[in-house]
Structure 1
Amino acid sequence: MEIIYDIKVVQSRCEEVRRSGKRIAFVPTMGCLHEGHLSLMREGRERGDLLVASIFVNPTQFGPKEDFAAYPRDLERDAELARQAGVDILLHPTVEGMYPGGFATYVNVEGLTKTLCGESRPGHFRGVTTVVCKLFNIVQPHVALFGRKDFQQLTVLRRMVADLNMPIEILGMPTVREPDGLAMSSRNIYLSPAERRQALALIDAMRQAGVAARHGEQHVRRLVGLVRERIGREPDARIDYIKICDGDTLESVERVDTNSVLLLAVYIGRTRLIDNNYIFEEV
């Protein structure tokens, strides 16, 4: 595996691969790799002749009071995990390389970014779509892999690719969880032992809502109430949002069907966690 810092070198290498008729798979990350990222890389290994991953902590998707400076960074550890997962090229660009002086061009997806995390983190998705668009232009992948844990992000990126006629398949992979059900996240390391136990309220609440839906409860208000009541029992929990939406449009619904997704964002202490699940799927 090669670690390449120079954007132009990666562009040139990927152009050569495309011209030879081979397939490129791409997994963009911000590092602090865990099994969720590695599952994407292993799937990418199966789907591409060349597997490229990137590690770039993107400043434009962090708000002024968020954890950009404190976000964990360990390139040596991450590079070894990526190598074991079968990555051929690990792109690790600098902030100056991605956002040179005078940078003034952004990509913004309307509508889908105004709700859920977009409502509570203004500007976040503009940063995400801009950096992913730039990475797509660098790597020119045939397929890019993302985790379904970031459901809104996945939906927004699919919209961006469709709207901008990018010839890229966006593959959403299932959320990878710890043995006790907590969704894997780089931010889980911020949780104290007591907060880590309280964080299980998210998966517990989603399971309770799913059971209720499968037993005939269709009213969103009552299902959301179940989730809110369960999470509200935890002393360090603060709910950002709990919503049940259409899985394609992210629009709120009043009654659930098989395409309805339960999405939640909850602070446990100072750590913001997100999770989701299709309401009728067991989790």
Structure 2
Amino acid sequence: MSRIAYVNGRYLPLSQAQVHIEDRGYQFADGVYEVVPLYRGRLLDEDPHLDRFDYSLRELQIAPPMSRAALKLVLRELVRRNGLSDALLYFQATRGVAPRDHKFPAKTKTAFVATMRRSRPPSAKQIEEGVSVMTTRDIRWERCDIKSLNLLPNLLAKQQATVAGVFEAWLVDDDDNITEGSSTNAWIVTSDGKLVTHDAGAAILNGITRQRVIKLMEGEGLTFEQRAFSREEAMRAREAFLSSSSSFVLPITRIDGKPVGEGKPGPMTRRLREIYVAAALEAPVVI
């Protein structure tokens, strides 16, 4: 089956999906996006993803492309036409098409596209043995809470990690604190057993999986802190893990080549992944 995309009101084979050369997303990264995981036929945390999509649009003063009800219909129809049960559903909105000029155009229509691809979840080995990360300087702009199309610093960090042969890059700010990963949120379990992740705000993207993990921890009665933590504290941590829509909860067992704790996934990380997957399977099936 050929992949189907949605482009400004039309469902098209991916090979025929096109946007205008003067779309401001193409010329200025003037737009926002979301990625919703489809897991065993279930759209995970769809409404929180749409809430963040609306937030990002408001922050960039871009009009919504359609109502939420209409958007949900479009996404479900795209799921149906692609016939996938485990996938990543990507959609983006830009300010639209206008002659190239830095200031906002006086009149424009929000452009909207959506695509799907099969998900590439972590391997059984990565889940059982954990993955490695490296640290690198955080050079992003000061509004990381907006899920914008402007991802060049993230791409450079991810490429640096790829060249180094590790799974992810953890970004370090000017105070030597770890903010998040290039496409994931960062977590540690401190030497005295406290769960810590950077506080939500402009310095990080408040991941939807991150938010779900926090709710699950509250339900389990686990104590945690939302605060900055340093690279040095991470190196002393008992456990570490990352969270994202594509990896869920994934253990980290090496940071900058040095083992985390005993160098293997810890009990807290294993438990959080277990309860996350269980919660995901409680979501309603959409296909």
Q: TM-score range by the shorter chain?
A: 0.3 to 0.5
Between 1 and 2, higher relative CO (CA 8 Å, sep ≥ 6) is seen in 2
More strand by share: 2
More helix by share: 1
Question: What TM-score does the superposition give when structure 2 sets the normalisation length?
Answer: 0.33
